[in-house]
Amino acid sequence: MRRALILALLLAIVPASAAEPDALPPSRETEHVVKPGETLGGIAERAEVPRVLIAEANRLRPPYTLRAGQKLMIPRTRHHAVVAGETGFTIAYSYGVPWRDIAVANGLEPGAPLKAGQKLLIPTVLAAPAVPAAQPSVDAGLPATPQTTPRFAWPLQGAVRRGFAPRSRANHHDGLDIRADHGTAVRAAAGGKVLFAGDEPRQFGKMVVLEHEGGWQTAYAFLSRVTVKQGDAVSPGERVGLVGNTGQARGSELHFEIRRGVRPVDPANLLPTASR
């Protein structure tokens, strides 16, 4: 009896990683090593992730044949309830995930209309697996354009109330919040084309997004007024809106972002040293 008790205590203090090599349950795995006899459907069911997402993340093609020892990335999903006024573009921009990937994850046509209350799965953007040099490289997050970086300028003068924090942090922040008087002109940080101009009902309020050469984008949010429309070509320094306090603004300020594809980049690394 005493020996059995001692054995039970020893087993209780064995680290989980030693007692169970695969400590994470299938529903929490972000990487899975294929075991003999496993199928993509079975792995997807146990991981609680749609099969199509695993296939897309790992560039699998029908008939989705797997081999023992093969490593699969398991993209974890988030959930989103559509609110009135949201579009595929604004949802994709908020999460930093291409809309085409969200549409695929939910079995939607990319141009399908959205309804208030509709539930969406938001897949996680993962680094694409390496491909042979002979094959074209495809990145789900970045357009296949030359690696050109525009010369960005400050969109206005003002004190930065809140700076950039990467998405790896719990309190991430994708851009800069810049204080300025209500109605101050907000100007294009570089020349480009208007991708979006309108209301984003969840956090950005009135917002303008510009597309620039090389797959770069800039965003101007919390505006009181938008002064361009979708499809417009804008010159560097051209007015795109007026400072306001819409969305989740904390007073009169501009929320400004720079992105490469869907990935936020710290504007401080691309803007002149001082706001001018």
CATH number at residue 60: 3.10.350.10
C-alpha distances in Å from residue 237, one per residue of 96, 153, 185, 191: 26, 8, 10, 8
Same domain for 105 and 171, yes or no, is: no
Q: What is the pLDDT of residue 168?
A: 64
Same domain for 258 and 168, yes or no, is: yes
Same domain for 67 and 86, yes or no, is: no
Is 249 among the domain residues? Answer: yes
Same domain for 57 and 105, yes or no, is: no
Contact (Cβ atoms closer than 8 angstroms) between residue 41 and residue 110: no
Q: What is the pLDDT of residue 30?
A: 76
Total domains in the chain come to: 3
Domain residues for the domain of 102 are: 77-123
Is 171 among the domain residues? Answer: yes
Is 128 among the domain residues? Answer: no
Q: What is the pLDDT of residue 265?
A: 94
**pLDDT tens across 123-176, in order?**
876 544 433 333 333 333 444 444 688 999 999 999 999 999 987 666 789 999
Is 148 among the domain residues? Answer: no
Same domain for 247 and 186, yes or no, is: yes
The domain that contains 191 carries what CATH number? Answer: 2.70.70.10
Same domain for 119 and 20, yes or no, is: no
Same domain for 179 and 113, yes or no, is: no
Contact (Cβ atoms closer than 8 angstroms) between residue 255 and residue 247: yes
C-alpha distances in Å from residue 3, one per residue of 6, 7, 10: 5, 6, 11
Is 274 among the domain residues? Answer: no
Same domain for 36 and 112, yes or no, is: no
Considering all CA atoms of the chain, what is the largest pairwise distance in Å, rounded to the nearest integer? 84
- Euclidean distance between CA atoms 44 and 64, whole angstroms: 12
Q: Can you give the length of the chain in residues?
A: 276
Q: What is the pLDDT of residue 147?
A: 62
- Euclidean distance between CA atoms 189 and 192, whole angstroms: 9
Amino acid, single-letter form, for residue 203: Q
Is 139 among the domain residues? Answer: no
End position of a domain, from candidates 51, 73, 95: 73
Is 4 among the domain residues? Answer: no
Same domain for 51 and 84, yes or no, is: no
Same domain for 180 and 248, yes or no, is: yes
What's the chain's average pLDDT? 82
Is 152 among the domain residues? Answer: no
Q: Which residues of the chain have pLDDT under 70?
A: 1-24, 77, 125-147, 168-170, 274-276
Same domain for 165 and 195, yes or no, is: yes
- Euclidean distance between CA atoms 176 and 120, whole angstroms: 28
Same domain for 113 and 205, yes or no, is: no
